[in-house]
Amino acid sequence: MESKFYEGPVNGSKADSRKEALDAAVISRLVQIAKTASPNLLRKAISVIEFGTVIDPTMDTIISEDITAVLDVALHQNVLDEPEDEAEELEKHLLKLEEAGLTISSASRLLTKLLDSESFRKTVDTTTRFEEPLRKILRSNLPLHYKDWVASCLVKLTSLSPSLSKPISVEVTLYKTIPSLVEQMSFSSSPEAKEAAVLELNKIVSEGVPESTQALASHGGIEPLVKLLEERNERCVEASLSVLYNLSMDSENHPAIMRAGAVPVLRRIVMSQRPQWEKALRLLRDLPV
C-alpha cells in the first residue's frame, strides 16, 4: 500500500509505472477478488479500487471492469436483514454490523465518485440498480456514522435522476438527519452543539416534513428535549417547547413526554414567568394532567 504512492518501474511487471500497473492489472484482479471476498477483504479491495479514481480521474479502467458486481456485493449485506432480538449472539451481531458498515461506507463513497463519470452513467442504469439497496441501508439499523456516504450517494443520485420513485430528501431527513440530531442533543458535551441540534430539529418539524415527529419520537428524542427545558439558554428552551408541542399533537407521545419528567419542569417555567411561560402553559394544557 505504501509503495503505490511512488512512481517508477514495478518489480516483476511489464508496466512502466505504478500508475499503469494499478490501472491495467491490479484493478482487474481486485475486482475478481472482491466478488467472492470476505467482508473485511471486500472493504480493503474497494478502498484500493477507490484509490484508482485518484490516479485516473477519468476512471475508464475501473468502469471497463465489472465494478457494478462489486458494488452489488458490498451493498447487499445479509446482516441488515437479521433482527437484533433474534440474533444468536448479540455481540457477534453488532460486530458483523460494524464490519458491514465499513464495507457499505467504502462502497457508497466509491459509487459517489463513479457517479461523476458520464461514461459510468451511460454504461449503468444507476437509478434502477442502486436506488433501492441504498434506501434499504438508509432505513436499516446500521450505525448512523456509516450512513453518511449512503445519504450523500442518494442525494447525488437524486440530482442526476430527478425522476426517482420517491423524493430522497425526506428519507435522508427521517433516517439520517433526525437520528443524528437526537444523538447530538443526548450525548454532546457542548452546549452550542446541543443548541444547534434542537434549533435544526425545530426547523425540520416546523416545516412539516412528513413523519418527522414520528421519527423523532421513535429515535428517543423526547427525553433529551425535556432535559433541554432546564437549560438557561432561552433559545434552547424556546425550540424544545415548540418541538414538544408538535409531538404532543399525537396523543401516543403523551406517556413518553410525561415519563421524561416534562410536567414539573413546565410548571416551574410557568410559575417563574420565564419568557416562554405561555408556550409551557399551552403544552401543559395539552397533556393529560
How far apart CA 153 and CA 1 sit, in angstroms, is 26
pLDDT value, residue 6: 46
Say what the pLDDT of residue 1 is.
44
Which residues, at least 6 apart from 56, have a Cβ–Cβ distance to it below 8 Å? 19, 23, 62
**Chain Cα centroid distance, residue 140:** 10
Q: What pLDDT sits at residue 128?
A: 84
As given in the structure block, the three cell numbers for residue 56 are: 485516473
Write the Ramachandran bin of 38: left for phi over 0, alpha for psi from -120 to 50, otherwise beta. Answer: beta
pTM: 0.77
What integer pLDDT is reported at residue 240 of this predicted model? Answer: 96
Q: How does the average pLDDT of the chain come out, rounded?
A: 86
Mean pLDDT of 233-246: 95
The position carrying cell 426517482 is 164
What integer pLDDT is reported at residue 164 of this predicted model? Answer: 58
CA 83 centroid distance within chain = 19
